[in-house]
Amino acid sequence: MHIVVLAGGYSPERDVSLSSGSLIANALIERGHRVLLLDVYEGLSELPSDTDALFRTTPYERSPIPSTVPDLAALKSRVGNGDALIGRNVLALCRMADRVFLALHGAMGENGQLQATLESFGIPHTGSDYVGSLLAMDKDLTKRLLCDAGLPTPEWICATPKTKEEILLRAPLPCVVKPCCGGSSVGVTMVEDRASLSAALDEAFRWEDRVLAERRITGRELTVAILDGEALPAVEIRPKVGFYDYANKYQGSTEELCPAPIPKETADRLAKLCLDAFRVLRLRQYARFDVMLDEDGELYILEANTLPGMTPTSLLPLSAQAAGISYGELCERLIALPDAREG
Please list the active-site residues: 13, 184, 250, 288, 290, 303, 305, 309
Are residues 305 and 225 in contact, defined by beta-carbon separation less than 8 angstroms?
A: no
The two beta strands, 254-257 and 235-239, are antiparallel
Residue 326 DSSP class: -
Answer yes or no: are the C-beta atoms of 267 and 234 closer than 8 Å: yes
Nearest to 298 by CA among 207, 192, 222, 205: 222
Q: Are strands 230-231 and 34-39 parallel, antiparallel or unpaired?
A: unpaired
- Each as own residue / partner, the long-range contacts of residues 78-84 (CB below 8 Å, 24 or more positions apart, any chain) are 79/41, 79/42, 81/10, 81/41, 81/43
Element (H, E) at 238: strand 235-239
Among residues 286, 291, 285, the alpha carbon closest in space to that of 316 is found at 286
* β-bridge pairing 219-227 and 175-179: unpaired
Beta carbons of 322 and 258 less than 8 angstroms apart: yes
**Ranges of H-type helices in 159-263:** 164-170, 197-205, 246-250
What's phi and psi for 34, nearest 5 deg?
A: -95, 125
